[in-house]
Structure 1
Amino acid sequence: MVRVLVGSQVAVLGLVGLAAGLALRGRRLPLVAGALVVLGAGVGLALPPLAIDAYPTTYRRPSVPYQAASIASGAALYREQCASCHDLGGAGDGPAGVRLPRPPADLRAPHTAQHTAGDLFWWLSNGIPAAGMPAFGRELSEEQRWDLVNFLRALSSGYAARGMGPTIEPDRPWLVAPDFTFAVGPTPPRSLREYRERRIVLLVLYDLARARARLAEIAGRDGTLALLGVEVIAVPVHDARDAIKRIGREPRVLFSVATEGSEAIAAAYRVFATAPHVEFLIDRQGYIRAVARGNGGAGDLDKTIAEIQRLNDEKAPAPAPEEHAH
């Protein structure tokens, strides 16, 4: 920053000298030449720090959308290909990393999300020889590499969201909710994206052994939630095609219980929160606005309803996020 400031000031002096040289009638050439030298020096000082590294794929649009299925696939690939160096949690302290020329990057850090998706794709495809990172361009398909990119973006965002709690920050949406597809019994598949601009979504990741009381509490307020424009989607943390049957007659559930797609949804959204029972409040634009973590016991649903009302009261909703990571 100091270099940019000094360079810009030198460039201004050069411009002043150039203007003066052009205005004079006598000895114009030496003054103009000197001014051009000063101007060039100033520009040379100021511009290099503004330059950024770019690769052939830096601004390439990902061919795989930022969706739960892709993130879940990327998580599995990460465990197989990357965790030995970067650690399962992405902290960069995996056991194989000690043999590398320099420590592996902490993939949870903000810099991961600050790079473009195309940058990450390039490094995955071609490696980083100076750091000892291998290239995966031949070992993994293009789709698999984009899955890894989507997982890495989710990992970094999830680490940044570790402080997000059950209370929304008004008018400050930033955490994109990955799209997902699910089915309820024999009904046609539907996606989270279908609710944009229409409904707030309360996404509930539950373990039935722990969460029966909480599901009963939500079921008991189903009418209130519907009036507030809320769609409840309950997702068992283990893929269970008989999820509805396992709930049984009590509690009497009228909201959606995913019987297909739950495994990918749980794997992706647990990147953002890992408690036994998690509830995500997703606004109409597709952003996660609050995260409630617990054990699945009955809680105070009135607090959740109050946060939903605050979402309904927001005056200037943010534009919907892009479907692809950038």
Structure 2
Amino acid sequence: MRAAVCRSFGAPLSIETVRLADPGPGEVKIAIKACAICHSDIVYADGGWGGEPPMVLGHEAAGVVEQTGSGVRGIAPGDHVVVTLIRSCGCCHYCSGGHQVLCEEVFPLDRRSAILGQDGTGLVQGLRTGAFAEKVVVERSQVAVISRDIAFDSASLLACGVITGFGAVTNTAQVPAGSHVAVIGCGGVGLNAIQGAAACAARTITAIDLSDAKLDAAKRFGATLAVNPAHGDPRDALMAITEGRGADFVFVTVGAKSAIDGASQYITRNGTIVIVGMPPLGVTGEYDPGTLAGWSQKIVGSKMGSSRVSRDIPYLAALYQSGRLKLDELITGRYPLDGINEAIESTRRGEALRNVIVFD
């Protein structure tokens, strides 16, 4: 099969022929039909989170089940599925508490790679998925069956960008109706945080971004106010619509130190900052602990929107089918596998909400 392989950090991905192992017990083999490009793939390809190349990246995918290993239930060959990076055992300390994204189980695929080079050596299965390839083998818990009526390119977005942004609002923060919400960063994750805030009936949703084009998109996705810091002070604009108090919740959806450090200026007393975007290793944030304690403010993290794959992806797919969740509008460009480096560079330049690799 063909795959886009990251041979060295910072270099273009190379299109190579690799081999894929058969699925073991509890594993599923899937023919990938679409895989969106997430900024996490770019951070990894640039070496921002370490790791050892060669690796196959790509983790926001959808496809068709080809084969299931022994013991797999509820998934059969021919099923249309979304493929996520979330592996969960369902019974460890964290899974038992409803936090599947923090599962502590070590799975067979964590010990060995299903992707093999022509010489038989294993390639790193990037972000537990490796979906910049024609086929993948993943753990059963990473897979959610969806309706055959949903196009693969739109469905792929549910695997990461949508559950991360939407879930940060609805699962992690559980934003109450009538809240004032601000979202810093209006890429794919930020727009879905905006959709989540709208679904929670937030009173106001302030979008903050340096791109006017992304702010225009934010308005289409439900933002009530859009502010570019290059053209005006977001804090002044936010205070004007919140009677001088600030936002109840601020979602930082980009992994930039400036965005993380600046979030505290927007929150009210008893307000909450939710860190969604993940910066490269070594980046630290700064805050005033006196104000944090004196005003009962909170800073919380949100990994993958605190999502439960078997619950959240079917729910979001149903919202999409009923017209209450935008997916098609998130796709900026569609590329063949051979065009993956062009798609990545477009994303890196900030030109895309989501570029998607589409497989024949």
Q: Which is richer in helix?
A: 1
**Could you state the TM-score of these two structures normalised by the residue count of structure 2?**
0.27
- Structure with greater strand share of residues: 2
Structure-1-length-normalised TM-score: 0.28
Q: Which structure has the bigger radius of gyration?
A: 1
